[in-house]
Structure 1
């Protein structure tokens, strides 16, 4: 009788993986809480206007983009955990400073500081998680890690708006401080193995490779394109739904987004590891395009929610898949630099999209914008194929 030996998978849900995922969750929870509530605070309490709102969002994202390449380099030079603690500490200070945001200029300074901490902290968590996930379960692990960020995207806006409308901004800012403390506590729990550091000659001039990973750039460029499109969803969905008198459905948009994503997560991550990235990425790009196109055709609440589900299933899965590819394409000791490179382009796509699509929205309506964006997503299939997809070794999906 033949004895079949089963190979036991390496453990994924370790203390370190759970701790880094929860630290990331609380950081992104604060980000999304403030993203939806500060515009109201600016107009109602600081007598600001739409230009001020855009300035605050841009200042936060740009400061994060500037700090990401440096923090990616610091992960290798001064250590991963130390860089993370620097980031979450700056993020904590920024969270408590909102109590003093009594003018537009003060709030702008706080947003720059907060964005800097966000850029360092999220680059660190992305680099660290790559080292605590077993290589055999990279796609699955990055999928679950991204799920924590997706949950923050749902809980953050709901919690923030509920507190602002039912209690006060004072309580909101207290919660931001509390969640920042929790992010630090979970960061302290992490015992991350430090990758081998590159031996560099003393007084060597800094080069492009010190801050960016060239092997990550192809997939990061694809992420830039899709992030550009997704910025149109985050920036305009509430206004667009209001024009269609679908405010009630719009409040559930990201709940449906997360639900579809969570249901698919156990399958898509495993498929990524078993059959290769193309099996996951091509269908998800098509789902993302379908969701954006459906937004342009919305006439009822169920159509808006279905679009949210398709976008969650498509874009939500793509984000974790692209991040996995970005890390896998680089040497393990440069995981931090690879993560920084990926998110610099991802954030840049979001910032560029918010700015350019906002200008376009003054000339055409949102439905037309979503039609254009759906075409752009479809074109990204060719971009992905040229930059990465054609190089992927085909695997037998029937095994």
Structure 2
């Protein structure tokens, strides 16, 4: 990673600690991905109840992310990172204490705060530290903590559930969150760098959300969130019901490996070819993954679906973060990240109960078919609405034109005028 070699020793140390904390955090969270639906199912819950419990995780994200985004801008990124890791260390004890649907919903909402805080602070801090010319490369590498954690966590969680039971699983999940907290305590907390006073600094959330550079990515993330929620909530149960010899934990591990592999070069390539091309590719991968799940009858097809899903996440989410960093001032970056990613949160929140109802009616297989159609709508919206007009949007989405909403391009256009 050549860009990292240009940083001073203290900054490299800070990034290394931050990366390690991210790895531990995502390992803690994802250890419950393939196992928690089974834990709820063992308690006698219906498909719809499983969907409601799993989906309530996103309620915590939606309720608290706007406040946490503003807190990150006003008080610094470290405070929200501390909140995220503290919640990650506490929440697993809540699952251990009960199998009551009502109480599990409350625990799941509380657990959702961890992701709202950690992802907002992590993304904003890295965007602050990364130079604009190598922003894609730095963010691409630093966000590798997510797929690595998503590779380790499900495999670890599945193994612990099978060999030691749910009690040890929840204890290990809490311990990983605690070690992430110890790492964040050591992270330096640089002040948010502000630029000259602008009208953008006075915008409220609704004004920011209504701006085209934020509105369209948020809608795209909302629709893709439906697909992510469907996969993460129901793929283990689908595998169980289909009796295909393919472990749910292996599905998420294969997905994470694919996500890791593509991020290694996608971030740096986006600095050269633009963010739009990779966002388009990411959405296409999600469409393909859902189509494969819709048609899956063998372990190989499930494996291909996992790879496609991982490739989608590895490009779309990281490149969306980079694109929003390109489009935001440091003093409102936390809020803009919070709003854009809140679209993803809302999609996940809707996905579990909504698609759980569909799964009750038509089965898991056709539910994934509906998900493929919804994600195709996200692709159409991005390709046609991501820039100032249809022509520019299409060119940007195909990597043939720069992002007109990026601050450096807005500055060039204003100077030309």
TM-score over 0.5 (shorter chain)? yes
Supply the distance in 1 between the matched residues of 2:222 and 2:385 (Cα, whole angstroms): 13
Distance 1:130 1:248, change over 3 A: same
Supply the distance in 2 between the matched residues of 1:7 and 1:373 (Cα, whole angstroms): 38
> Residue 66 of structure 2 aligns to a residue in which SS?
helix
Measured after TM superposition, the shift of residue 342 of structure 1 is 1.7
How many residues are paired up? 386
Partner residue of 2:360 out of 362, 377, 380? 362
Residue 400 (structure 2) pairs with residue 394 (structure 1): yes
Measured after TM superposition, the shift of residue 48 of structure 1 is 4.8
Q: After the TM superposition, which residues 285-364 of structure 1 pair with which residues of structure 2 at under 5 Å, given as runs?
A: 285-364=283-362
Q: Match of 2:22?
A: 24
What is the alpha-carbon root mean square deviation over aligned residues? Answer: 3.2
Q: Match of 1:126?
A: 123
Supply the distance in 1 between the matched residues of 2:160 and 2:216 (Cα, whole angstroms): 42
Distance 1:99 1:357, change over 3 A: closer
Give a deviation string over 1:59-103, Cα, whole Å, max 9, x none. 322012110000000112222212322332344333445554475
Distance 1:9 1:279, change over 3 A: farther
Q: Match of 1:41?
A: 39
- Range that drifts further, 294-303 or 344-353: 294-303
Measured after TM superposition, the shift of residue 192 of structure 1 is 3.5
Alignment check: 8 A CA contact 1:72 1:336 kept:
yes
Residue 274 (structure 2) pairs with residue 276 (structure 1): yes
Distance 1:112 1:300, change over 3 A: closer
Alignment check: 8 A CA contact 1:213 1:338 kept:
no
Distance 1:239 1:369, change over 3 A: same
Structure 2 alignment gaps of length 5 or more = 403-417
Q: Match of 2:110?
A: 113
Residue 152 (structure 2) pairs with residue 179 (structure 1): no
- Range that drifts further, 157-166 or 118-127: 118-127
Supply the distance in 1 between the matched residues of 2:14 and 2:4 (Cα, whole angstroms): 20
> Residue 173 of structure 1 aligns to a residue in which SS?
helix
> Residue 297 of structure 2 aligns to a residue in which SS?
coil
Residue 167 (structure 2) pairs with residue 170 (structure 1): yes
Alignment check: 8 A CA contact 1:213 1:341 kept:
no
Partner residue of 1:80 out of 77, 99, 104? 77
Alignment check: 8 A CA contact 1:42 1:53 kept:
yes
Distance 1:280 1:182, change over 3 A: same
Q: Match of 1:56?
A: 53
Q: Match of 1:242?
A: 240
Measured after TM superposition, the shift of residue 318 of structure 1 is 0.9
Distance 1:95 1:368, change over 3 A: closer
Measured after TM superposition, the shift of residue 278 of structure 1 is 2.5
Structure 1 alignment gaps of length 5 or more = 1-5
Supply the distance in 1 between the matched residues of 2:288 and 2:44 (Cα, whole angstroms): 39
Q: Match of 1:150?
A: 147
Alignment check: 8 A CA contact 1:96 1:176 kept:
no
Residue 71 (structure 2) pairs with residue 65 (structure 1): no
Distance 1:191 1:351, change over 3 A: same
Measured after TM superposition, the shift of residue 250 of structure 1 is 4.6
Q: Match of 2:408?
A: none
Measured after TM superposition, the shift of residue 272 of structure 1 is 0.7
Alignment check: 8 A CA contact 1:224 1:349 kept:
yes
Q: Match of 2:91?
A: 94
> Residue 360 of structure 2 aligns to a residue in which SS?
coil
TM norm structure 2: 0.81
Q: Match of 2:222?
A: 224
